[in-house]
């Protein structure tokens, strides 16, 4: 058994297709199939159930896959650590971002990072703040940019606050409140809202503000993409509350939207989070690019 065989197994498991797995691994399919078959003979179990149209993991394959990923991650870490000892940074950096990140220009950041560390493979993933924090704790992400209600901190990870922000009311340009100098939440209690899905950190920021004001609102439309939220608002289907630093440039380019300050509206913090257990050299290099003080030291487990 060798690492390449493990990589082939992971590729087939993730693509559910031998042809696509071979393309991902830059190898001919016959060679990949032969190596996996040899591994199955060595182990004495079938890792995949195969038919002419389907490929699925067997129970043994599922058990093997988890350990194979751990072995590959350990091997990648060993290479990265060895390189770091010579002053070079290599390996893989998995970065998570929320869709409303505004405290950092992520594309510009990744450009600067690549210029300094061209041998690091960077992968980017978007998601909700709670999903990204869980992925860091589980080792699937190295670092993430989050948005959370003010006063809340992500648990089980290291983090710093990058910025504080307040939400503004987003209305259709022809709405009665468009052009108002400022509103209060009580002025909005009878309105229909467009917002993120219930239970998500993005939604919690507005829900908590209304609850603190002793108000109940109607959220008729839930969406996971800001573009859909603003599109529904522009069509007059509801109002929204979104972080000002993110939505101001969006609204400036869209004449169908208007923004109104909210006196007692939601507030949020944007955070940077990373693993508190032995961050990789690639992670420490990103923290250095971001200017995080004292980020070069590794912490112990919880």
Q: Residue 143 maps to which CATH number? A: 3.40.190.10
Residues 152 and 30 in one domain: no
Q: Which of 213, 211, 205, 206 is nearest to 184 (CA)?
A: 213
Residues 156 and 168 in one domain: no
pTM reported for the whole predicted model: 0.70
CB atoms within 10 A of CB 134: 16
Residues 152 and 286 in one domain: yes
Task: Tell me how far apart the alpha carbons of residues 53 and 55 are, in angstroms, rounded to a whole number.
Answer: 7
- Report which DSSP code applies to 247: H
Task: Tell me how far apart the alpha carbons of residues 25 and 92 are, in angstroms, rounded to a whole number.
Answer: 16
Q: Number of structural domains, the chain?
A: 3
Task: Tell me how far apart the alpha carbons of residues 223 and 203 are, in angstroms, rounded to a whole number.
Answer: 10
Alpha-helical (H) ranges within the chain are 3-15, 18-24, 29-43, 59-85, 106-116, 129-137, 201-212, 226-234, 244-252, 281-290
Instruction: Collect all residues with Cβ–Cβ distance below 8 Å to 109 and sequence separation of at least 6.
Output: 289, 290
CA distances from 148 to 8, 133, 197 (A): 39, 11, 15
pLDDT of residue 299: 39
Residue 20 belongs to domain spanning: 3-85
Instruction: Collect all residues with Cβ–Cβ distance below 8 Å to 287 and sequence separation of at least 6.
Output: 143, 274, 279, 295, 296
Instruction: Give the DSSP per-residue string, 193-235.
Output: EEESPTTSHHHHHHHHHHHHTT---EEEEE-S-HHHHHHHHHT
Does residue 191 lie within any of the structural domains?
yes
Residue-wise pLDDT tens digits, 204-216? 999 999 999 999 9
**Is the CB of residue 270 less than 8 Å from the CB of residue 101?**
yes
Residues 189 and 250 in one domain: yes
What's the length of the chain?
302
Residues 137 and 216 in one domain: no
Residue-wise pLDDT tens digits, 101-154? 999 999 999 999 999 999 899 999 999 999 999 999 888 899 999 999 988 889
Residues 187 and 250 in one domain: yes
Task: Tell me how far apart the alpha carbons of residues 112 and 149 are, in angstroms, rounded to a whole number.
Answer: 29
With tokens 């969406």, the residue in question is 223
Burial degree of 247 (CB within 10 A; 0-12, 13-18, 19+): buried
pLDDT of residue 105: 95
**Is the CB of residue 241 less than 8 Å from the CB of residue 147?**
no
Residues 108 and 189 in one domain: no
Name the stretches of the chain with pLDDT < 50.
297-302
Does residue 280 lie within any of the structural domains?
yes
CA distances from 35 to 19, 27, 40, 163 (A): 14, 11, 9, 50
Domain endpoint, select from 45, 69, 85: 85
Residues 234 and 169 in one domain: yes
pLDDT of residue 221: 97
Does residue 298 lie within any of the structural domains?
no
Q: Is 62 helix (H, G, I), strand (E, B) or coil?
A: helix
Residues 251 and 284 in one domain: no
pLDDT of residue 86: 59
Does residue 72 lie within any of the structural domains?
yes
Task: Tell me how far apart the alpha carbons of residues 154 and 52 are, in angstroms, rounded to a whole number.
Answer: 46
């Amino acid at each position: 058994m060798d690492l390449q065989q493990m990589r082939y197994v992971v590729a087939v498991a993730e693509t559910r297709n031998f042809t696509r797995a071979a393309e991902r691994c830059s190898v001919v399919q016959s060679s990949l199939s032969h190596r996996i078959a040899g591994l199955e003979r060595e182990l004495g179990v079938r890792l995949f159930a195969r038919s002419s149209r389907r490929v699925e993991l067997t129970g043994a394959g599922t058990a093997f896959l988890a350990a194979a990923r751990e072995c590959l991650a350990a091997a990648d870490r060993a290479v990265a650590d060895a390189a770091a000892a010579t002053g070079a940074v290599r390996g893989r950096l998995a970065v998570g971002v929320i869709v409303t990140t505004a405290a950092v220009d992520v594309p510009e950041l990744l450009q600067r990072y690549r210029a300094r560390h061209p041998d690091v493979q960077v992968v980017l993933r978007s998601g909700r703040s709670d999903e990204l924090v869980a992925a860091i704790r589980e080792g699937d992400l190295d670092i993430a940019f989050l948005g959370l209600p003010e006063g809340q901190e992500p648990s089980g990870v290291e983090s710093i606050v990058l910025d504080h922000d307040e939400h503004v009311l987003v209305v259709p340009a022809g709405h009665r409140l468009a052009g108002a100098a400022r509103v209060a939440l009580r002025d909005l209690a009878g309105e229909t809202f467009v917002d993120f899905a219930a239970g998500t950190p993005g939604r919690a920021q507005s829900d908590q503000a209304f609850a603190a004001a002793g108000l109940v609102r109607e959220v008729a439309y839930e969406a996971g993409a800001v573009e859909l939220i603003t599109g529904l608002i522009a069509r007059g289907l509801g109002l929204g509350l979104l972080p000002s630093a993110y939505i101001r440039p969006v609204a400036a380019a869209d004449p169908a939207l208007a923004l109104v300050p909210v006196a007692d509206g939601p507030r949020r913090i944007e955070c940077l989070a990373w693993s508190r257990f032995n961050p990789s050299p690639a992670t420490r290099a990103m923290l250095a690019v971001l200017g995080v003080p004292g980020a070069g030291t590794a912490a112990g487990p919880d």
